[in-house]
Structure 1
Amino acid sequence: MPDRSYPATIAAAVDHELVIRKSRFLAHLAPVASPEQADEVIAAVKKQHWDARHNCSAQVTGVLGDRARSSDDGEPSGTAGTPMLEVLRRRELTDVVAVVTRYFGGIKLGAGGLVRAYSSAVAEALDAASLVDRRMLAQITLAVPHSDAGRFDNLLRDWAARHDAVLGETRYVQQAVFEVWSPQDAVEALGAEVASASGGAVAASATGTTHVVDVPR
């Protein structure tokens, strides 16, 4: 389904600190590929901040964001993990884990204050994150002589940037074989541009393979 909408993710880990009434909330967000990897991130944060009172977490995984878990880690039920998870859901993200470490400052915040603090810590961290869109793209390959590889590499990079496409792996065998992941409705345009640039000597071939691919914003 080329026109299906998929949740985005984050490009790289991001950290953010929020101080509310002397309590420190340290947010750590990271891209992950599975619930197991998310659990590893949570375990690493807990090991790093072993002296903190709480290390609350939320995670969403799966191409469609269909797997989700959260933990209040000792905070009153529903005041930490669930609000953090709701922020990830509202931002329409997946394959991401959020851990918020709290160092208690001696002043109680109340249930409402905790909800606002944990959700704000995640939201503000996301504001600083670089996002990556995900789209169903079609695989295109083309083979060119090694002497033309540099020229076509530049052409394809420029074309991909203009068409929300992604340049994939290049294999150097008898010829240089380029891989492009293209929106389905741009496949013909790529074929025409490649034919024009090569005087018809090079053809861009659709392999029939489609895949959900990360497309940096």
Structure 2
Amino acid sequence: MLEALHSFEGTGVLDTLAVVVRYFGGVLLGAGGLTRAYRAAVAETLVTAPLVRRAERELLGAELDYPAAHALDAEATRRGWSVEHEYGAAVDVVLGVPGAEVDEAMARIASLTAGAATPVRLGTRLVDLSI
């Protein structure tokens, strides 16, 4: 299994974990057959698994009303920003934006809320982005 994972090192695939569960079906594979079966299972999965790209993002937090949160979601999707929500009486939003776009994102939040929401910088984090 580890050999199959290592064979993908040159492709830029990182942070992978392989777990194989085998239910005995009455066929004795032997040590060599079991090794080949596990390696093949991992290799096949790596070829077909969906990939995500990770990038460091500046995190901005804000409390928005529902219409502003919806508008910000559309803006985040259009610009490729990550967005997380916590719903309650208002929507707590955490945006993940590239460092060069922080000022623009803060201005956009202010614009969408007519200055009612004040975004707060929350630091940086690696976020998963769709490929």
Residue type at the aligned position of 1:197: L
- Secondary structure (helix, strand or coil) at the match of 2:96 reads strand
Counterpart in the other structure of 1:49: none
- Pick one of 182, 200, 203 that aligns with 2:118: 203
Query: CA offsets, 1:111-163, max 9 Å, x none?
Result: xxx7xxx4x7544422321112111111101123xxx32x1222222222233
Query: CA offsets, 1:60-114, max 9 Å, x none?
Result: xxxxxxxxxxxxxxxxxxxxxx2x132231232213216497x788xx9xxxxx7
Distance 1:201 1:100, change over 3 A: closer
Tell me, which stretches of 5 or more residues in structure 2 are unaligned? none
Counterpart in the other structure of 2:75: 159
Q: CA contact under 8 A between 2:68 and 2:113: conserved in structure 1?
A: no
Residue type at the aligned position of 2:128: D
Within 2, Cα distance between the matches of 1:96 and 1:152?
39
Residue type at the aligned position of 1:154: H
Q: What number of residue pairs does the alignment pair up?
A: 121
* Runs of 4+ residues deviating >3 angstroms: 98-101, 120-124
Distance 1:98 1:197, change over 3 A: same
The structure with the largest helix share of the pair is 2
Within 2, Cα distance between the matches of 1:171 and 1:134?
26
The structure with the largest strand share of the pair is 1
Once the two structures are aligned, what percentage of the paired residues are identical? 23
Query: CA offsets, 1:185-210, max 9 Å, x none?
Result: 22122112222222223232223x11
Tell me, which stretches of 5 or more residues in structure 1 are unaligned? 1-56, 59-81, 109-113
Q: TM-score, normalised by structure 1?
A: 0.45
Residue type at the aligned position of 2:49: A
